[in-house]
Chain A
Protein backbone atom coordinates (compact mmCIF):
# COMPACT_ATOMS: atom_id res chain seq x y z
CA UNK A 1 0.00 0.00 0.00
CA UNK A 2 1.32 3.41 -0.94
CA UNK A 3 1.53 6.70 0.86
CA UNK A 4 -1.47 7.85 2.78
CA UNK A 5 -3.55 10.34 0.84
CA UNK A 6 -6.42 12.18 2.41
CA UNK A 7 -9.12 14.10 0.60
CA UNK A 8 -11.80 16.38 1.92
CA UNK A 9 -15.13 14.71 1.16
CA UNK A 10 -18.18 16.94 0.96
CA UNK A 11 -21.85 16.09 0.55
CA UNK A 12 -23.86 18.69 -1.32
CA UNK A 13 -27.60 18.36 -0.86
CA UNK A 14 -30.54 20.42 -1.90
CA UNK A 15 -33.10 20.26 0.89
CA UNK A 16 -36.69 21.39 0.74
CA UNK A 17 -39.27 21.43 -1.98
CA UNK A 18 -38.13 24.22 -4.28
CA UNK A 19 -37.05 22.90 -7.61
CA UNK A 20 -33.76 24.28 -8.87
CA UNK A 21 -30.21 23.54 -7.93
CA UNK A 22 -28.07 25.85 -10.04
CA UNK A 23 -26.36 27.42 -7.05
CA UNK A 24 -25.65 24.07 -5.43
CA UNK A 25 -24.10 22.79 -8.65
CA UNK A 26 -21.87 25.84 -9.02
CA UNK A 27 -20.57 25.31 -5.49
CA UNK A 28 -20.12 21.58 -6.11
CA UNK A 29 -17.97 22.23 -9.17
CA UNK A 30 -15.91 24.89 -7.42
CA UNK A 31 -15.17 22.50 -4.56
CA UNK A 32 -14.13 19.80 -6.99
CA UNK A 33 -11.81 22.26 -8.72
CA UNK A 34 -10.31 23.00 -5.32
CA UNK A 35 -9.36 19.32 -5.04
CA UNK A 36 -12.26 18.01 -2.94
CA UNK A 37 -14.34 14.92 -3.54
CA UNK A 38 -17.90 16.16 -3.83
CA UNK A 39 -20.85 13.83 -3.54
CA UNK A 40 -23.82 15.44 -5.17
CA UNK A 41 -27.22 14.08 -4.14
CA UNK A 42 -29.70 16.17 -6.07
CA UNK A 43 -33.02 17.79 -5.30
CA UNK A 44 -35.58 17.40 -2.53
CA UNK A 45 -33.46 15.63 0.02
CA UNK A 46 -35.09 14.98 3.38
CA UNK A 47 -33.05 15.18 6.61
CA UNK A 48 -33.23 11.36 6.72
CA UNK A 49 -31.75 11.04 3.24
CA UNK A 50 -29.05 13.61 3.95
CA UNK A 51 -28.00 11.86 7.14
CA UNK A 52 -27.95 8.44 5.51
CA UNK A 53 -25.83 9.72 2.62
CA UNK A 54 -23.43 11.47 5.01
CA UNK A 55 -23.04 8.22 6.93
CA UNK A 56 -22.44 6.05 3.88
CA UNK A 57 -20.07 8.50 2.22
CA UNK A 58 -18.12 9.32 5.39
CA UNK A 59 -17.95 13.00 4.56
CA UNK A 60 -16.36 15.63 6.79
CA UNK A 61 -18.69 18.30 5.48
CA UNK A 62 -22.36 18.57 4.56
CA UNK A 63 -23.31 21.56 2.44
CA UNK A 64 -27.03 22.24 2.49
CA UNK A 65 -28.76 24.45 -0.01
CA UNK A 66 -32.14 25.67 1.19
CA UNK A 67 -34.04 28.27 -0.78
CA UNK A 68 -37.55 27.43 0.36
CA UNK A 69 -37.31 29.33 3.63
CA UNK A 70 -37.65 26.14 5.65
CA UNK A 71 -34.15 26.38 7.12
CA UNK A 72 -35.33 26.83 10.70
CA UNK A 73 -37.04 23.45 10.64
CA UNK A 74 -34.68 21.56 8.33
CA UNK A 75 -31.29 22.54 9.75
CA UNK A 76 -31.97 21.65 13.41
CA UNK A 77 -33.41 18.35 12.22
CA UNK A 78 -30.34 17.49 10.14
CA UNK A 79 -28.09 18.52 13.00
CA UNK A 80 -29.98 16.29 15.43
CA UNK A 81 -30.07 13.30 13.12
CA UNK A 82 -26.36 13.53 12.33
CA UNK A 83 -25.68 13.43 16.05
CA UNK A 84 -27.93 10.42 16.54
CA UNK A 85 -25.93 8.53 13.92
CA UNK A 86 -22.61 9.31 15.59
CA UNK A 87 -21.78 11.99 13.03
CA UNK A 88 -21.53 14.95 15.42
CA UNK A 89 -18.11 15.82 13.97
CA UNK A 90 -19.51 16.48 10.52
CA UNK A 91 -19.40 20.21 9.74
CA UNK A 92 -22.59 21.73 8.47
CA UNK A 93 -22.55 24.58 5.94
CA UNK A 94 -25.64 26.33 4.67
CA UNK A 95 -26.47 28.25 1.52
CA UNK A 96 -29.64 30.25 1.01
CA UNK A 97 -31.37 33.51 1.81
CA UNK A 98 -31.20 33.54 5.59
CA UNK A 99 -32.40 36.54 7.66
CA UNK A 100 -29.86 37.85 10.17
CA UNK A 101 -31.75 36.75 13.28
CA UNK A 102 -32.09 33.20 11.93
CA UNK A 103 -28.41 33.29 11.10
CA UNK A 104 -27.47 34.00 14.70
CA UNK A 105 -29.65 31.20 15.94
CA UNK A 106 -28.30 28.70 13.42
CA UNK A 107 -24.75 29.62 14.30
CA UNK A 108 -25.59 28.97 17.93
CA UNK A 109 -26.79 25.55 16.84
CA UNK A 110 -23.32 24.92 15.46
CA UNK A 111 -23.71 25.63 11.76
CA UNK A 112 -20.14 26.28 10.59
CA UNK A 113 -20.87 28.72 7.77
CA UNK A 114 -23.85 30.47 6.20
CA UNK A 115 -23.71 31.93 2.70
CA UNK A 116 -26.13 34.16 0.88
CA UNK A 117 -26.57 34.39 -2.88
CA UNK A 118 -23.56 35.78 -4.68
CA UNK A 119 -20.99 34.62 -2.13
CA UNK A 120 -17.67 34.04 -3.85
CA UNK A 121 -16.94 30.33 -4.07
CA UNK A 122 -13.39 31.09 -2.98
CA UNK A 123 -14.69 32.14 0.43
CA UNK A 124 -16.61 28.87 0.79
CA UNK A 125 -13.59 26.84 -0.30
CA UNK A 126 -11.33 28.48 2.25
CA UNK A 127 -13.85 28.14 5.06
CA UNK A 128 -14.23 24.43 4.36
CA UNK A 129 -10.50 23.91 4.14
CA UNK A 130 -10.00 25.67 7.46
CA UNK A 131 -12.80 23.73 9.11
CA UNK A 132 -11.28 20.43 8.00
CA UNK A 133 -7.79 20.97 9.31
Chain B
Protein backbone atom coordinates (compact mmCIF):
# COMPACT_ATOMS: atom_id res chain seq x y z
CA UNK B 1 0.00 0.00 0.00
CA UNK B 2 1.59 3.31 -1.04
CA UNK B 3 2.03 5.97 1.59
CA UNK B 4 -0.62 8.69 1.39
CA UNK B 5 0.55 12.13 0.31
CA UNK B 6 -0.99 14.88 2.47
CA UNK B 7 -1.04 17.18 -0.58
CA UNK B 8 -3.51 14.83 -2.23
CA UNK B 9 -5.77 15.12 0.81
CA UNK B 10 -5.59 18.92 0.77
CA UNK B 11 -6.60 18.78 -2.89
CA UNK B 12 -9.63 16.72 -1.91
CA UNK B 13 -8.56 13.47 -3.62
CA UNK B 14 -11.12 10.97 -2.40
CA UNK B 15 -8.92 7.89 -2.48
CA UNK B 16 -6.21 9.66 -0.50
CA UNK B 17 -8.81 10.87 2.02
CA UNK B 18 -10.23 7.40 2.41
CA UNK B 19 -6.84 5.75 2.96
CA UNK B 20 -5.84 8.46 5.41
CA UNK B 21 -8.99 7.85 7.44
CA UNK B 22 -8.05 4.18 7.73
CA UNK B 23 -4.48 4.90 8.79
CA UNK B 24 -5.70 7.30 11.44
CA UNK B 25 -8.38 4.91 12.68
CA UNK B 26 -5.77 2.19 12.94
CA UNK B 27 -3.47 4.47 14.93
CA UNK B 28 -0.54 3.75 12.63
CA UNK B 29 2.60 5.81 12.45
CA UNK B 30 1.58 6.99 9.00
CA UNK B 31 -1.76 8.12 10.36
CA UNK B 32 -0.06 10.09 13.07
CA UNK B 33 2.23 11.80 10.57
CA UNK B 34 -0.73 12.71 8.38
CA UNK B 35 -2.48 14.35 11.33
CA UNK B 36 0.67 16.38 11.95
CA UNK B 37 0.59 17.68 8.39
CA UNK B 38 -3.13 18.30 8.28
CA UNK B 39 -3.66 20.08 11.59
CA UNK B 40 -2.63 23.57 10.40
CA UNK B 41 -5.28 23.33 7.69
CA UNK B 42 -8.16 22.55 10.04
CA UNK B 43 -10.63 24.63 12.03
CA UNK B 44 -12.84 25.82 9.20
CA UNK B 45 -15.65 23.27 8.93
CA UNK B 46 -19.02 23.50 10.64
CA UNK B 47 -19.33 20.31 12.70
CA UNK B 48 -22.90 19.12 13.19
CA UNK B 49 -23.61 16.30 15.64
CA UNK B 50 -26.76 14.19 15.20
CA UNK B 51 -27.65 11.97 18.11
CA UNK B 52 -30.67 10.28 19.66
CA UNK B 53 -32.05 6.90 20.67
CA UNK B 54 -31.75 3.88 18.31
CA UNK B 55 -34.24 3.93 15.47
CA UNK B 56 -35.44 7.52 15.85
CA UNK B 57 -34.44 8.10 12.21
CA UNK B 58 -31.02 9.73 12.55
CA UNK B 59 -29.57 8.25 9.37
CA UNK B 60 -32.68 9.05 7.37
CA UNK B 61 -32.50 12.59 8.72
CA UNK B 62 -28.82 12.93 7.86
CA UNK B 63 -29.63 11.75 4.34
CA UNK B 64 -32.23 14.51 3.90
CA UNK B 65 -30.18 17.16 5.64
CA UNK B 66 -27.20 16.51 3.40
CA UNK B 67 -29.43 16.25 0.35
CA UNK B 68 -30.99 19.65 1.11
CA UNK B 69 -27.65 21.29 1.84
CA UNK B 70 -26.43 20.13 -1.55
CA UNK B 71 -29.40 21.74 -3.26
CA UNK B 72 -29.23 25.27 -1.97
CA UNK B 73 -31.37 27.66 -3.96
CA UNK B 74 -30.67 30.97 -5.69
CA UNK B 75 -27.49 29.84 -7.42
CA UNK B 76 -25.55 29.72 -4.17
CA UNK B 77 -22.63 27.34 -4.21
CA UNK B 78 -23.55 24.16 -2.38
CA UNK B 79 -21.18 23.26 0.45
CA UNK B 80 -19.09 20.11 0.22
CA UNK B 81 -20.26 17.79 2.90
CA UNK B 82 -18.90 14.79 4.79
CA UNK B 83 -20.80 12.35 6.98
CA UNK B 84 -19.21 10.23 9.70
CA UNK B 85 -21.68 7.58 10.87
CA UNK B 86 -20.58 5.92 14.09
CA UNK B 87 -21.93 2.56 15.23
CA UNK B 88 -20.89 0.51 18.23
CA UNK B 89 -18.25 -2.19 18.06
CA UNK B 90 -19.41 -5.51 19.49
CA UNK B 91 -17.58 -6.03 22.77
CA UNK B 92 -17.62 -9.79 22.21
CA UNK B 93 -16.12 -10.11 18.77
CA UNK B 94 -14.52 -6.72 18.18
CA UNK B 95 -16.46 -6.60 14.92
CA UNK B 96 -19.20 -4.19 13.93
CA UNK B 97 -22.19 -4.04 11.63
CA UNK B 98 -22.32 -0.56 10.12
CA UNK B 99 -25.71 -0.06 8.50
CA UNK B 100 -26.30 3.67 8.35
CA UNK B 101 -25.50 3.90 4.62
CA UNK B 102 -28.67 1.96 3.86
CA UNK B 103 -30.65 5.12 4.70
CA UNK B 104 -28.35 7.48 2.82
CA UNK B 105 -28.97 6.31 -0.72
CA UNK B 106 -29.98 9.75 -1.97
CA UNK B 107 -26.39 10.90 -1.51
CA UNK B 108 -24.97 8.27 -3.86
CA UNK B 109 -23.36 9.63 -6.99
CA UNK B 110 -22.80 13.12 -5.60
CA UNK B 111 -19.06 13.85 -5.79
CA UNK B 112 -19.49 16.66 -3.22
CA UNK B 113 -20.56 14.23 -0.51
CA UNK B 114 -18.37 11.71 1.31
CA UNK B 115 -19.96 9.18 3.67
CA UNK B 116 -17.76 7.18 6.00
CA UNK B 117 -18.91 4.57 8.50
CA UNK B 118 -16.92 4.22 11.68
CA UNK B 119 -16.97 1.57 14.38
CA UNK B 120 -16.51 2.90 17.90
CA UNK B 121 -13.78 0.28 18.61
CA UNK B 122 -12.10 0.42 21.99
CA UNK B 123 -10.85 3.89 21.19
CA UNK B 124 -7.98 4.93 23.39
CA UNK B 125 -8.69 8.39 24.67
CA UNK B 126 -12.37 7.94 23.99
CA UNK B 127 -14.65 8.01 21.02
CA UNK B 128 -14.57 11.78 20.77
CA UNK B 129 -10.82 11.84 20.23
CA UNK B 130 -10.98 9.13 17.57
CA UNK B 131 -13.81 10.92 15.80
CA UNK B 132 -12.06 14.28 16.10
CA UNK B 133 -9.10 12.79 14.25
CA UNK B 134 -11.25 11.68 11.33
CA UNK B 135 -12.94 15.07 11.30
CA UNK B 136 -9.55 16.72 10.79
CA UNK B 137 -9.03 14.89 7.53
CA UNK B 138 -12.32 16.12 6.08
CA UNK B 139 -11.79 19.59 7.48
CA UNK B 140 -8.33 19.87 5.92
CA UNK B 141 -9.66 18.45 2.64
CA UNK B 142 -12.07 21.39 2.40
CA UNK B 143 -15.37 19.83 3.43
CA UNK B 144 -17.33 22.78 4.76
CA UNK B 145 -19.94 20.80 6.64
CA UNK B 146 -19.19 17.61 8.59
CA UNK B 147 -22.13 15.70 10.04
CA UNK B 148 -21.43 13.14 12.77
CA UNK B 149 -24.13 10.55 13.55
CA UNK B 150 -23.91 8.66 16.84
CA UNK B 151 -26.37 6.50 18.70
CA UNK B 152 -27.39 8.25 21.86
CA UNK B 153 -25.98 6.25 24.72
CA UNK B 154 -24.74 8.04 27.77
CA UNK B 155 -21.22 9.32 27.66
CA UNK B 156 -20.62 8.86 23.93
CA UNK B 157 -23.42 11.28 23.24
CA UNK B 158 -22.06 13.93 25.56
CA UNK B 159 -18.54 13.46 24.17
CA UNK B 160 -19.66 13.92 20.60
CA UNK B 161 -21.68 16.96 21.60
CA UNK B 162 -18.52 18.51 22.94
CA UNK B 163 -16.85 17.87 19.59
CA UNK B 164 -19.62 19.32 17.42
CA UNK B 165 -20.39 23.00 17.04
CA UNK B 166 -24.11 22.34 16.67
CA UNK B 167 -25.78 19.29 18.18
CA UNK B 168 -29.12 18.04 16.89
CA UNK B 169 -30.93 15.65 19.21
CA UNK B 170 -33.48 13.50 17.39
CA UNK B 171 -36.60 12.30 19.16
CA UNK B 172 -39.54 10.37 17.77
CA UNK B 173 -43.15 10.18 18.92
CA UNK B 174 -44.75 7.04 20.22
CA UNK B 175 -41.97 5.72 22.39
CA UNK B 176 -44.38 5.33 25.28
CA UNK B 177 -44.30 8.02 27.90
CA UNK B 178 -42.23 10.67 26.14
CA UNK B 179 -41.11 12.43 29.27
CA UNK B 180 -39.65 9.16 30.50
CA UNK B 181 -37.74 8.51 27.31
CA UNK B 182 -36.33 12.01 27.11
CA UNK B 183 -33.32 11.38 29.21
CA UNK B 184 -31.92 13.89 31.59
CA UNK B 185 -28.95 15.63 30.09
CA UNK B 186 -30.32 15.57 26.58
CA UNK B 187 -31.69 19.05 26.90
CA UNK B 188 -28.29 20.35 27.94
CA UNK B 189 -26.50 18.97 24.90
CA UNK B 190 -29.18 19.84 22.33
CA UNK B 191 -28.67 23.02 20.35
CA UNK B 192 -31.60 21.99 18.19
CA UNK B 193 -34.24 19.42 19.10
CA UNK B 194 -35.98 17.56 16.29
CA UNK B 195 -39.13 15.52 16.58
CA UNK B 196 -38.70 13.21 13.61
CA UNK B 197 -41.43 10.89 12.32
CA UNK B 198 -43.91 13.71 12.72
CA UNK B 199 -46.23 11.79 10.42
CA UNK B 200 -46.84 9.42 13.31
CA UNK B 201 -49.59 9.79 15.92
CA UNK B 202 -48.52 11.58 19.07
CA UNK B 203 -46.07 13.92 17.35
CA UNK B 204 -47.91 17.05 18.51
CA UNK B 205 -47.85 15.78 22.04
CA UNK B 206 -44.10 15.16 21.92
CA UNK B 207 -43.49 18.59 20.42
CA UNK B 208 -45.50 20.27 23.16
CA UNK B 209 -43.89 18.21 25.92
CA UNK B 210 -40.40 19.09 24.72
CA UNK B 211 -41.21 22.76 24.33
CA UNK B 212 -42.59 23.01 27.82
CA UNK B 213 -39.61 21.17 29.28
CA UNK B 214 -37.34 23.63 27.53
CA UNK B 215 -39.17 26.68 28.83
CA UNK B 216 -38.76 25.30 32.33
CA UNK B 217 -35.08 24.59 31.96
CA UNK B 218 -33.94 27.63 30.04
CA UNK B 219 -33.54 31.02 31.62
CA UNK B 220 -35.79 33.77 30.31
CA UNK B 221 -34.03 36.58 28.51
CA UNK B 222 -35.60 39.12 30.93
CA UNK B 223 -34.13 37.33 33.94
CA UNK B 224 -30.69 37.52 32.45
CA UNK B 225 -31.09 41.17 31.60
CA UNK B 226 -31.91 41.85 35.26
CA UNK B 227 -29.53 39.61 37.11
CA UNK B 228 -27.03 38.21 34.64
CA UNK B 229 -25.98 34.60 35.13
CA UNK B 230 -22.69 34.12 36.93
CA UNK B 231 -20.85 32.42 34.09
CA UNK B 232 -21.58 35.30 31.78
CA UNK B 233 -20.02 37.89 34.01
CA UNK B 234 -16.62 37.53 32.39
CA UNK B 235 -17.99 37.39 28.85
CA UNK B 236 -18.09 40.46 26.70
CA UNK B 237 -21.54 41.90 27.18
CA UNK B 238 -23.62 41.70 24.10
CA UNK B 239 -27.08 43.13 24.32
CA UNK B 240 -28.35 41.57 21.13
CA UNK B 241 -30.93 38.89 21.79
CA UNK B 242 -28.84 36.59 19.59
CA UNK B 243 -26.29 36.36 22.39
CA UNK B 244 -28.61 33.93 24.09
CA UNK B 245 -29.51 30.75 22.29
CA UNK B 246 -32.82 29.18 23.03
CA UNK B 247 -33.10 25.64 21.70
CA UNK B 248 -35.72 25.40 18.97
CA UNK B 249 -37.91 22.30 18.64
CA UNK B 250 -38.67 21.35 15.05
CA UNK B 251 -40.86 18.64 13.50
CA UNK B 252 -39.47 16.66 10.55
CA UNK B 253 -40.56 13.77 8.37
CA UNK B 254 -37.28 12.40 7.12
CA UNK B 255 -38.77 9.75 4.89
CA UNK B 256 -40.26 12.44 2.63
CA UNK B 257 -37.99 15.38 3.43
CA UNK B 258 -40.46 17.59 5.27
CA UNK B 259 -39.12 20.23 7.66
CA UNK B 260 -35.63 20.41 6.21
CA UNK B 261 -35.50 23.97 4.87
CA UNK B 262 -36.51 24.99 8.41
CA UNK B 263 -33.85 22.78 9.99
CA UNK B 264 -31.18 24.20 7.71
CA UNK B 265 -32.33 27.72 8.57
CA UNK B 266 -31.99 26.97 12.29
CA UNK B 267 -28.51 25.53 11.75
CA UNK B 268 -27.56 28.75 9.97
CA UNK B 269 -29.00 30.73 12.90
CA UNK B 270 -27.02 28.67 15.34
CA UNK B 271 -23.81 29.13 13.40
CA UNK B 272 -24.50 32.85 13.37
CA UNK B 273 -25.07 32.82 17.10
CA UNK B 274 -21.83 30.89 17.71
CA UNK B 275 -19.85 33.39 15.67
CA UNK B 276 -21.37 36.61 16.98
CA UNK B 277 -21.46 35.59 20.64
CA UNK B 278 -17.87 34.38 20.80
CA UNK B 279 -19.18 30.92 21.64
CA UNK B 280 -17.46 29.41 18.57
CA UNK B 281 -14.08 30.48 19.89
CA UNK B 282 -14.93 29.34 23.41
CA UNK B 283 -15.98 25.86 22.23
CA UNK B 284 -12.87 25.46 20.09
CA UNK B 285 -10.69 26.42 23.00
CA UNK B 286 -12.41 24.03 25.35
CA UNK B 287 -12.26 21.17 22.87
CA UNK B 288 -8.60 21.65 22.06
CA UNK B 289 -7.77 22.00 25.74
CA UNK B 290 -9.49 18.68 26.47
CA UNK B 291 -7.66 17.07 23.60
CA UNK B 292 -4.31 18.41 24.72
CA UNK B 293 -4.84 17.28 28.29
CA UNK B 294 -5.88 13.83 27.19
CA UNK B 295 -2.80 13.52 24.99
CA UNK B 296 -0.58 14.76 27.76
CA UNK B 297 -2.00 12.20 30.16
CA UNK B 298 -1.60 9.34 27.68
CA UNK B 299 1.91 10.37 26.73
CA UNK B 300 3.08 10.71 30.31
CA UNK B 301 1.66 7.36 31.17
CA UNK B 302 3.27 5.65 28.17
CA UNK B 303 6.59 7.24 28.98
CA UNK B 304 6.37 6.10 32.54
CA UNK B 305 5.35 2.58 31.51
CA UNK B 306 8.35 2.34 29.22
CA UNK B 307 10.69 3.23 32.05
CA UNK B 308 9.41 1.13 34.90
CA UNK B 309 10.12 -2.58 34.98
CA UNK B 310 7.29 -5.02 35.45
CA UNK B 311 9.05 -6.62 38.41
CA UNK B 312 9.48 -3.32 40.18
CA UNK B 313 5.83 -2.56 39.60
CA UNK B 314 4.72 -5.96 40.88
CA UNK B 315 7.00 -5.71 43.91
CA UNK B 316 5.58 -2.30 44.81
CA UNK B 317 2.02 -3.47 44.27
CA UNK B 318 2.64 -6.49 46.53
CA UNK B 319 3.89 -4.20 49.27
CA UNK B 320 0.73 -2.12 49.00
CA UNK B 321 -1.43 -5.25 49.13
CA UNK B 322 0.36 -6.48 52.27
CA UNK B 323 -0.07 -3.02 53.78
CA UNK B 324 3.67 -2.42 54.02
CA UNK B 325 3.40 0.63 51.80
CA UNK B 326 0.64 3.20 51.36
CA UNK B 327 -0.68 3.84 47.85
CA UNK B 328 0.57 7.42 48.08
CA UNK B 329 4.09 6.37 48.96
CA UNK B 330 3.90 3.72 46.26
CA UNK B 331 3.19 6.36 43.62
CA UNK B 332 6.24 8.29 44.74
CA UNK B 333 8.39 5.18 44.61
CA UNK B 334 7.12 4.27 41.14
CA UNK B 335 7.62 7.75 39.73
CA UNK B 336 11.10 8.06 41.17
CA UNK B 337 11.90 4.58 39.92
CA UNK B 338 11.13 5.85 36.43
CA UNK B 339 13.20 8.95 36.91
CA UNK B 340 10.18 11.24 36.83
Q: Does B105 contact A (CB under 8 A)?
A: yes
Instruction: With both chains docked as a complex, state the minimum distance between the C-beta of B216 and any C-beta of chain A, in angstroms.
Output: 41
CB-based contact A32/B95 at 8 Å: yes
Instruction: With both chains docked as a complex, state the minimum distance between the C-beta of B113 and any C-beta of chain A, in angstroms.
Output: 9
Within the complex, which residue of B27, B101, B115 is in contact with A3, where a contact is CB–CB below 8 Å? B27
A42 to B124 alpha-carbon distance, docked (Å): 31
Size class of the B contact interface (CB-based, 8 Å): 35 or more
Contact digits for B96-129, partner A, Cβ 8 Å, 1 yes 0 no? 1111011001001100001111010100110000
CB-based contact A42/B117 at 8 Å: no
CB-based contact A38/B108 at 8 Å: no
Within 8 A of A (CB), among B71-109: 89-90, 92-99, 101-102, 105, 108-109
Within 8 A of B (CB), among A1-47: 1-7, 9, 28-29, 31-42
Instruction: With both chains docked as a complex, state the minimum distance between the C-beta of A47 and any C-beta of chain B, in angstroms.
Output: 12
Report the tally of A-B residue pairs with Cβ distances under 8 A.
Answer: 95
Q: Which A residues touch B116, using CB under 8 A?
A: 56-57
Given A32-B95, A37-B96, are A58 and B26 also a contact pair (CB < 8 Å)? no
Q: Does A52 contact B (CB under 8 A)?
A: yes
CB-based contact B101/A38 at 8 Å: no
Q: Does A124 contact B (CB under 8 A)?
A: no
A33 to B231 alpha-carbon distance, docked (Å): 48
CB-based contact B31/A55 at 8 Å: no
Given A1-B32, A5-B121, are A40 and B98 also a contact pair (CB < 8 Å)? yes
Given A3-B27, A32-B95, A57-B116, are A39 and B101 also a contact pair (CB < 8 Å)? yes
Given A4-B27, A5-B26, A40-B102, are A58 and B18 also a contact pair (CB < 8 Å)? yes
Question: What residue in chain B is nearest A48 (Cβ atoms)?
Answer: B109
Instruction: With both chains docked as a complex, state the minimum distance between the C-beta of B31 and any C-beta of chain A, in angstroms.
Output: 7
Within the complex, which residue of A6, A9, A35, A40 is in contact with B99, where a contact is CB–CB below 8 Å? A40
Q: Which A residues touch B14, using CB under 8 A?
A: 55-56
CB-based contact A4/B26 at 8 Å: yes
A63 to B96 alpha-carbon distance, docked (Å): 16
A109 to B97 alpha-carbon distance, docked (Å): 29
Q: Does A49 contact B (CB under 8 A)?
A: yes
A49 to B101 alpha-carbon distance, docked (Å): 11
Instruction: With both chains docked as a complex, state the minimum distance between the C-beta of B92 and any C-beta of chain A, in angstroms.
Output: 8
CB-based contact A56/B18 at 8 Å: yes
CB-based contact B27/A32 at 8 Å: no
Q: Which A residues touch B125, using CB under 8 A?
A: 2
Q: Does A92 contact B (CB under 8 A)?
A: no
CB-based contact A41/B101 at 8 Å: yes
Q: Does A53 contact B (CB under 8 A)?
A: yes
CB-based contact B26/A57 at 8 Å: no
Closest 5 CB pairs of A and B: A42-B102, A32-B95, A2-B124, A58-B18, A35-B95
Apart from A32-B97, A42-B105, 9 more pairs, CB < 8 Å: A1-B124, A2-B27, A7-B26, A34-B95, A37-B117, A38-B95, A41-B101, A52-B109, A58-B22
